[in-house]
Each structure stands twice: as C-alpha cells, then as structure tokens.
Amino acid sequence: MSRILTPQIGRRRVVAGLAALTAASVMPAGARLLAAPGLVATPPQIEGPFYPTDWQGDIDNDLVQVMGEAAHAQGQITHILGRVLDTSGTPIRGAAIEIWQCDATGTYRHPRDTSWMRTRDEAFQGRGRALADQSGAYSFRTIKPVAYPGRTPHIHFAVTAPGRPPLVTQMYVASEPLNARDGILNAISDPRQRDSVIVKLEPGDRIEDQALTGTFDIVLAG
C-alpha cells in the first residue's frame, strides 16, 4: 500500500480511505452484480509488446512511490478499485492481479521502449501486483493513464486464479476522445464487453486529496 504521499497525508490515512471506499462503493456494486444473472465476461485483449521483463524489487500495488526513491511519479494519482468475480457474481478470492502501463511521458518500463523523444520517469514503478481478498476486492494506486502515438490511454491487466484460464485485458478511461479511434478497444465486437472495460474516473478525495478513482470489476469466464 501507500508509503509516502504528501506532507499532509500519510499511509494510514490512505489505507483507511481505501477501506472506507471499498465498503461504501465496491461492496454495493458487488451486491448489485450478485443480483444480476449472467455477468458479461471481461474480454481478453492482447498483452502488447511491453509486458514487464523485470519483476524484481518494488512490485506492490502502489506504483506512484517507488521504494528508495524520494520523488513521486509524475501524473495525476489515480486509485483503481474493483472485484474479481465469476459470471455468476461469486467473488474469486486469492486471484492474482498484475498491471502495467506507461508513465506520464508515454514510456513503458521496458528495455525495448527506448524512444529518443521521451525520457522515462524513474519515480514511476510501471508495474504492480495485488491479490484479491476474501470478497474478491483489489486496489492499485497508480497514475491516470495517458495516450501515446497509436493508442488511447489504457492500463494492462493480467489475472490468474486457480482452476481458471488466465485473462489478459486492458482498462480504458471513459470520455477519452481517442477511444473512438483505438483499434484494440474497438476490436471488441460485443458492445457489452467493450463497455465493461471502459471506466469512469471521478474525484477520489475520500481516499487521497486531488486524486481520481475508478471501479473496474473483472469477470472471469470458465
């Protein structure tokens, strides 16, 4: 979880805020999902060329503050919360969730992403891992995803759970103009599945001042 935030906010406040928001927002959403028969499975998407090659060091669910770095990542802090469920709405406890995304300059933490036009933000962790709890809930503290040439803003997700096929997918941001022209997003032919990976980001001051938050529930088939 968060280690250092700003001089006005500490790790315990963020943890408390996440717990409160999970209770207030994620759980009611989960209850509604439980009442809805036949949830739409989250669609698989390509892994892309920049799946992390280095999972050593700091790989927790806080991508904004890297252990040993004094600086915070550039970009707007964003908390992504959600649950991992099956198509009947049952929580999948203990599911492992990985995320990776480019930094605020549009650069991935990957040896092949070496564009001379961009300098990677060393203070951005770039990838992280979390485990779903007993209610299937997970959370990440990251930055609002940004566009780079050829792609609308997105965050990559990989989810594994015992006895189920692994899922690789991507999360998108609602109201982004580039969504309409993104070939990978629009390759999802089922509009319900396409809508399921587009997340509205809203003010997240209940968790952290001046941050954003969004809920991304992941539904595993099989």
Q: Which residues make beta-bridge pairs with 182?
A: none
Three-class SS state of 195: helix
Give the CA distances from residue 192 to residues 51, 196, 202, in Å, rounded to whole numbers and listed in that order.
27, 6, 22
Query: CATH topology for 4-220?
Result: Protocatechuate 3,4-Dioxygenase, subunit A (2.60.130)
Choose among 89, 81, 168: nearest CA to 133. Answer: 81
Q: Which residues make beta-bridge pairs with 12?
A: none
Tokens of 85: 């469920």
Distance in angstroms (rounded) separating the CA atoms of residues 112 and 175:
30
Residue 116's pLDDT is 64
Residue 2's pLDDT is 33
Residue 68's pLDDT is 78
Q: Which residues make beta-bridge pairs with 59?
A: none
Residue 26's pLDDT is 46
Give the CA distances from residue 3 to residues 60, 63, 84, 125, 201, in Å, rounded to whole numbers and listed in that order.
11, 11, 25, 13, 23
Residue 6's pLDDT is 28
Residue 8's pLDDT is 31
b/e burial code for range 172-211 (CB count within 10 A of at least 16 → b): bbeebeebeebeebeebeeeebbebbbbebeebebbbeeb
Per-residue pLDDT of the chain (222 residues; tens, 9 = 90+): 333 222 233 333 344 444 444 444 444 444 434 434 589 999 999 999 999 999 998 999 999 998 878 889 999 999 999 999 999 999 999 999 999 999 999 999 999 998 766 789 999 999 999 999 999 999 999 999 999 999 999 999 999 999 999 999 999 999 999 999 999 999 999 999 999 999 999 999 999 999 999 999 999 997
Give the CA distances from residue 137 to residues 23, 49, 99, 110, 186, in Å, rounded to whole numbers and listed in that order.
10, 28, 15, 28, 28
pTM: 0.84
Tokens of 52: 């992390």
- Do the Cβ atoms of 120 and 69 come closer than 8 Å? no
CA dihedral 54, 5, 74, 72 (to 10 degrees): -60
- Do the Cβ atoms of 60 and 120 come closer than 8 Å? no
Residue 9's pLDDT is 33
